[in-house]
C-alpha cells in the first residue's frame, strides 16, 4: 500500500476523506434508526462508521452484557476533541455497558518520554476529573494504568506471537528505522482492547471501542489477532445458514483428536462435536449436519444475524477446552471537529481548540478569532449568506454546545440566508459555550477529591 493511503495513528496530520477511508478499510455505515435513544453525535452524522456495531446493538436489545473500552494518552491537556469519545462512552453506559478506561502510561513513556509518575498525575487531573464531570457513572467505570496491569502486558506478549514485522509494515508502514516504541505500543494497545474479556475483568462479552479513525489501524490489528486465536470459525453456509469449522492449531491438536501422523482419532473428534452441538443448545436449532472428520458443523436453520451469538457460544466452549476464546472487538468512528483556526485541533496549539478548563474569557477570545464562514462584507453576507460547512462557531454548536436539533436547524437557516451575521453566530456560540464550560467546572468541583470512585482496585 502506498504511504498516502495508510492511516498513521501517531501523525499530526489527519485525513478527513471519510468516504474513502470507510471504503478502503471496509467500515460499516451507521443506521441511526437502529440506535436506541441516539445522542447528538449520532443524530448529526458525526459518528459515521463502525465495525460490528450490530453485535453491540444485539446485546442492548437482549440485555446481554457488553463493555466499552477507551483509552487516553496521559500527556497534554484534555480538550473538546477528547470529549467526543466520552459522550459516546456515556451513551453506551446508559444503554447498559460497563466501562474500562486505559491510561496509556506505558505508551506515553515509550512514545513521548512522559514518566509514569507524571502520567498518573496528568491522567487524574486532566482526564479522569473531566470524565467524571461529563457524567460517567463511577459504579460501572474502571480506570486502570497500563503499567499497573500485568494481565494486559501478558496478553501483549501472547498476542505478539501471532503477528510479525511484515504485518506491521502493511498496517503502519514501519521501516527499518522505526523506533521500537511504535512496535510495542500497538501490542500493548491490543492487550488493552482484549483484556476486559479475561475472566478476572468481567469475562467473555463483546467490547466496543469508540475512537477517531486515526486509531483504526490498532483495531484492524487487534481484530486480526483475536481471529487468529480462534479454535472455531463461524461462516455463512453456501446453501443458507451458518457453518462452524474447527481451526486446527498446534495448541489444540490433542483436544481436537489429531494424532502425530495427522490421523484423526474418531472418538475424540465425536466427543468434541457433541460438545459443540451442546454449546449451541441455547440457540434452539433443530438440525445439524455434522462432518467430524472434516471438522465442519452445518447449521442450516441459523440466520446470518445469529453469527455473533453463535460465535459467543463457541468461544465459551473454546475457553472450556483450554483456548483463549476472544471476541474480536467492535468499534465506532467519529469525524473530527475542525480546529478553531481552520486546521487540526491540537493540545500543542492552544488557539486551535477549547480546553476543558479554559476560562470564559479565553474561550471568548478564541471564538472571536475563529475561522468564519461569513462573507467579506455585510452587504455580500446579506446577499449570499454564511457557509455553515466552513464556519467554526456553527460547527462547535453542532458538535458540542447546542443539544437542541430544532434550535440548531434554526441557526443554520438564519445564517445561511444571510439574516444572521458572522459576529452574531459567534456570539451564540460564546453564550452556549460559556454555559457549557461553567457547568463543567461546577461538576468538576463536585468530584474534587472523589476520583478514587472511578479507579479500579489495581489503580488506587
Binding residues vs ligand TRP (CB under 6 A)? 69-71, 73, 102, 104, 107, 189, 192-193, 209, 211, 215
In whole angstroms, how close is the CB of 334 to ligand TRP at the nearest point? 13
Q: For residues 41 and 370, which CB has a smaller minimum distance to ligand TRP in the complex?
A: 41
Measured from the CB atom, the residue of 152 and 340 that comes closer to ligand TRP is: 152
User: Of 94, 116, 95, whose CA–CA distance to 107 is shortest?
Assistant: 116
Q: Which is nearer to ligand TRP, 110 or 290 (CB)?
A: 110
Smallest separation, CB 102 to ligand TRP (Å): 4
Nearer to ligand TRP, 99 or 246 (CB): 99
Residues 134 and 141: their CA atoms lie apart, in Å, by 13
> How far is the C-alpha of 74 from the C-alpha of 61, rounded, in Å?
35
* Cell numbers describing residue 356: 476543558
Q: DSSP assignment, residue 250?
A: G
Question: Residue 209 Cβ, how far from ligand TRP at the closest point, in Å?
Answer: 5
Nearest residue to ligand TRP, by Cβ distance, number only = 71
Nearest Cα to 325, choosing from 257, 247, 273?
Answer: 247
**Shortest Cβ 106–ligand TRP spacing (Å):** 9
CA dihedral 353, 213, 304, 286 (to 10 degrees): -80
**DSSP 8-class letter at 357:** T
Which CB, 193 or 221, lies closer to ligand TRP?
193
CA distances to 63, 94, 141, 335 from 97, rounded to whole Å, are 10, 7, 9, 23
Q: Is 110 in contact with 77 (CB distance < 8 Å)? A: no
Q: E strands within 146-203? A: none
Min dist CB 70 to ligand TRP, Å, is 5
Least distance to ligand TRP, CB of residue 100, Å = 9
89/363 with CB nearer ligand TRP:
89
Quote the least distance from Cβ 105 to ligand TRP, whole Å.
Answer: 9
Distance, CA of 55 to CA of 29 (rounded, Å): 14
Contact 422, 374 (CB under 8 A): yes
For ligand TRP, the closer CB: 73 or 317: 73
Amino acid at each position: 500500500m502506498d504511504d498516502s493511503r495508510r492511516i498513521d495513528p501517531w501523525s499530526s496530520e489527519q485525513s478527513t476523506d471519510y468516504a474513502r477511508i470507510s471504503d478502503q478499510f471496509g467500515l460499516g455505515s451507521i443506521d441511526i434508526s437502529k440506535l436506541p435513544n441516539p445522542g447528538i453525535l449520532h443524530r448529526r452524522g458525526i459518528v459515521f462508521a463502525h465495525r460490528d456495531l450490530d453485535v453491540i446493538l444485539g446485546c442492548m436489545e437482549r440485555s446481554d452484557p457488553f463493555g466499552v473500552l477507551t483509552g487516553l494518552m496521559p500527556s497534554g491537556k484534555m480538550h473538546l476533541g477528547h470529549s467526543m469519545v466520552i459522550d459516546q462512552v456515556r451513551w453506551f453506559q446508559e444503554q447498559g455497558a460497563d466501562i474500562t478506561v486505559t491510561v496509556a502510561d506505558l505508551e506515553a513513556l515509550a512514545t513521548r518520554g512522559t514518566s509514569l509518575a507524571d502520567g498518573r498525575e496528568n491522567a487524574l487531573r486532566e482526564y479522569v476529573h473531566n470524565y467524571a464531570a461529563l457524567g460517567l457513572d463511577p459504579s460501572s467505570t474502571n480506570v486502570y494504568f497500563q503499567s499497573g496491569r500485568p494481565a494486559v502486558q501478558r496478553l501483549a506478549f501472547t498476542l505478539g506471537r501471532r503477528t510479525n514485522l511484515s504485518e506491521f509494515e502493511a498496517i503502519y508502514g514501519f521501516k527499518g528505522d522505526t523506533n521500537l516504541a511504535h512496535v510495542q505500543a500497538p501490542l500493548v494497545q491490543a492487550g488493552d482492547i482484549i483484556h476486559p474479556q479475561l475472566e478476572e475483568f468481567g469475562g467473555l462479552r463483546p467490547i466496543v471501542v469508540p475512537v477517531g479513525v486515526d486509531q483504526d489501524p490498532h483495531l484492524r490489528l487487534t481484530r486480526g489477532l483475536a481471529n487468529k486465536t480462534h479454535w472455531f470459525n463461524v461462516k455463512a453456509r453456501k446453501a443458507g445458514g451458518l457453518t462452524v469449522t474447527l481451526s486446527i492449531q498446534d495448541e489444540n491438536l490433542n483436544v481436537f483428536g489429531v494424532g502425530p501422523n495427522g490421523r484423526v482419532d474418531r472418538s475424540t473428534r465425536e466427543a468434541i462435536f457433541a460438545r459443540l452441538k451442546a454449546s449451541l443448545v441455547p440457540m434452539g436449532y433443530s438440525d445439524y449436519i455434522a462432518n467430524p472428520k472434516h471438522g465442519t458443523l452445518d447449521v442450516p436453520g441459523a440466520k446470518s444475524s445469529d453469527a455473533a451469538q453463535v460465535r459467543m457460544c463457541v468461544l465459551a466452549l473454546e475457553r472450556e477446552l483450554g483456548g483463549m476464546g476472544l471476541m474480536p472487538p467492535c468499534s465506532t468512528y467519529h469525524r473530527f471537529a475542525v480546529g478553531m483556526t481552520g486546521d487540526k485541533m491540537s493540545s500543542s496549539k492552544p488557539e486551535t481548540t477549547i480546553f476543558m478548563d479554559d476560562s470564559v474569557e479565553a474561550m471568548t477570545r478564541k471564538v472571536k478569532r475563529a475561522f468564519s464562514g461569513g462573507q467579506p462584507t455585510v452587504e455580500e453576507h446579506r446577499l449570499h449568506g454564511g457557509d455553515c460547512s466552513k464556519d467554526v462557531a456553527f460547527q462547535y454548536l453542532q458538535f458540542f454546545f447546542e443539544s437542541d436539533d430544532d434550535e440548531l436547524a434554526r441557526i443554520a437557516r438564519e445564517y445561511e440566508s444571510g439574516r444572521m451575521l458572522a459576529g452574531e453566530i459567534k456570539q451564540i456560540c460564546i453564550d452556549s459555550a460559556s454555559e457549557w464550560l461553567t457547568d463543567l467546572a461546577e461538576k468538576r468541583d463536585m468530584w474534587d477529591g472523589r476520583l478514587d470512585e472511578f479507579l479500579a482496585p489495581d489503580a488506587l
